Amino acid sequence: MQLIKTGLCAFGMSGKIFHAPFLKEHPGFFLSSIVERSREESEEKYPDAVIYRSVEEMLENADLDLVVVNTPVQTHFQYTKMALESGKNVIVEKPFTVDVSEAEELVRLAEEKGLFLSVYQNRRFDRDYLQVQKIISEGNLGNLKEAEIRFDRFRTEPSGKEHKENPEAAGSGSLHDLGSHLVDQAVQYFGFPEKIFADVFSMKGQEFANDYFEIILYYPNSLRVRLKSSVFTKEAHYAYAFHGKKGSFLQERTDNQENELASGTVPVYGQDWTLPLKETDGVLNFLNNQKETERILTSSEPGNYMNYYQQVYEFMVFGYALPSPAEEIIKNMRIIDAAVESSRQGRIIEFPEL
């Protein structure tokens, strides 16, 4: 099997949970380099990886086919550009960049260099997202008229992370963090909207970056899609609520990959590795033949973040489709930028045709 030599730009939470375990367990990748500025935490689990003290040092000295930029969003543009200019293919964590102009410049650079650039939209491989996708494709809801996707938390105290909570830091706050997932899922389900209205602010106060947002996306055929997130939600809502002419589907957010990885679970290549559900996690209620109502309790199938890296491997080795290519994620950045502007101006913003 062809080995893809890969370098990891940071070994914080993202590196430890979302990237390093999969790069180690996938037989097609060799995690050869890790950036740790002052520690050697990666040495125990990844002894074959050379530790570098900066991204610059790694790019200058390591023989790499692929670089994973998983640093704070404020550095994504700088490090991704640096890696591309060094002739390396790049996976960059979400959010892609702090604004669409940076995203467009990076896409142009990758094209000029003949390199690939993928954004790590791992929530496309969550069990709940995939279950909603399956229900939509089965057609029992009929023409969809209303959809809501939420990602709520109960984190009422500051975390102390400047790059996430400082309102002066570009790209900080929930809109870029969790919003990048919700916007991506809406675009995957429904395509690009015609216009947008957004309310974005900080419940903790003006000294903190936004921790609440509500976005309404306007689509043809009277479809409205609401994206919402709050850090003051102690009791969980359904994460997905979809309503159509024939019925409704409610889906809980039950994917537990992040928690299992954080607890030390090792993902297994080539098979499902997450714990099975003990209960149902969705409700499907629809009209059968326009007469009888069927109410079904549903259970979602396991998600698997390994599939993201499998798709990257298949692209690099066999030329199959690249997961979440950067030129596709530019659309998400346009929506996020428009949400910021809509909230600032307090009005609906229309999108020009793409």
**What is the three-class DSSP state of 312?**
helix
Structure tokens at 192: 């690009």
Within the chain, which residues score under 70 in pLDDT? 353-354
CA pair distance 93, 15, nearest whole angstrom: 10
The angle formed by the CA atoms of residues 281, 285 and 286, to the nearest 5 degrees, is 145
Measured CA to CA in angstroms, residue 120 lies from 12, 156, 213 at distances of 16, 27, 22
The ranges assigned to domains in the chain are: 4-120, 124-303+334-350
Q: pLDDT value at position 347?
A: 97
Q: In this structure, how many other beta carbons lie within 10 angstroms of the beta carbon of residue 157?
A: 7
Q: In this structure, how many other beta carbons lie within 10 angstroms of the beta carbon of residue 197?
A: 19
Judge contact between 115 and 93, C-beta under 8 A: no
77, 83, 88, 90: CA torsion to nearest 10? -30
Q: pLDDT value at position 353?
A: 57
Q: What is the pLDDT of residues 39-89, one digit of tens each?
A: 999 999 999 999 999 999 999 999 999 999 999 999 999 999 999 999 999
Q: pLDDT value at position 342?
A: 97
| Architecture (CATH level 2) of domain 4-120 | 3-Layer(aba) Sandwich (3.40)
Q: Are strands 66-69 and 195-201 parallel, antiparallel or unpaired?
A: unpaired
CA pair distance 89, 109, nearest whole angstrom: 11
CA pair distance 40, 32, nearest whole angstrom: 14
Residues 6 or more apart whose CB falls under 8 angstroms from that of 132 comprise 189, 240, 242, 249, 251
The angle formed by the CA atoms of residues 307, 311 and 314, to the nearest 5 degrees, is 135
DSSP letter for each residue of 96-124: --SSHHHHHHHHHHHHHHT--EEEE-GGG
- Top-tier CATH class for 124-303+334-350: alpha beta
Q: What is the pLDDT of residues 227-274, one digit of tens each?
A: 999 999 999 899 999 999 999 999 999 999 999 999 999 999 999 999
